[in-house]
Amino acid sequence: MDHAHDDCIFCRIIAGRAPCHRVHEDELTITFLDIFPVTPGHALVVTKEHFENIFEASEESLQAVAASARRVSGAIRRCLAPEGLAVFQLNGAAAGQSVFHYHMHLLPRSAGGSMKLHTRVPGDEQELRQIAERLVAALAEVESRD
């Protein structure tokens, strides 16, 4: 594992040098819960390779992100039954990007809820762990049927 991006929190998570509440992982992507969840179930689909943004990311990795986003969105819907699910991806500080390693947000929404994209309030550790476990179980159930 190269340490070229040791200052990048997502690279540290991918290398196993920082903890996360992992939901899904495949060859090119990892999905974990945002530790500053805007709503319960707020997840991030992240490319394993360090790309700063959509302009740098490979088409292959972006296709893998889309596939993972679809799978995890299905698990969020089954486990949490949100009224809606926002999918968004921010490039550059001016667009609101806060971690400069490509990622896509999956954000459960309810009618009348705020439309903010980020919060500085950390999620409850136990709640994050429980939600991650439920999503992992839901994904395993789908995979066992395929």
Give the three-state DSSP class for 70: helix
Q: Which of 21, 24, 42, 50 binds Zn ion (CB under 5 A)?
A: 50
Name the one range near Zn ion by CB under 5 A: 34-42, 93-101, 108-116, 120-128: 93-101
Considering the complex, state which of residue 10 and residue 32 has its C-beta at the smaller distance from Zn ion.
Answer: 10
Answer yes or no whether residue 103 interacts with Zn ion by CB under 5 A: no
Give the Cα separation of 65 and 83 in Å (integer): 23
Answer yes or no whether residue 45 interacts with Zn ion by CB under 5 A: no
Give the Cα separation of 20 and 109 in Å (integer): 22
Answer yes or no whether residue 101 interacts with Zn ion by CB under 5 A: yes
Name the one range near Zn ion by CB under 5 A: 39-47, 99-107, 112-120, 132-140: 99-107
Whole-number CA gyration radius for the chain:
15
In the annotation, is 103 catalytic?
yes
Considering the complex, state which of residue 64 and residue 131 has its C-beta at the smaller distance from Zn ion.
Answer: 64
Nearest by Cα to 12 from 112, 99, 141: 99
Environment class of 33 (CB within 10 Å of its CB; exposed 0-12, middle 13-18, buried 19+): buried
Closest separation between CB of residue 13 and Zn ion, Å? 9
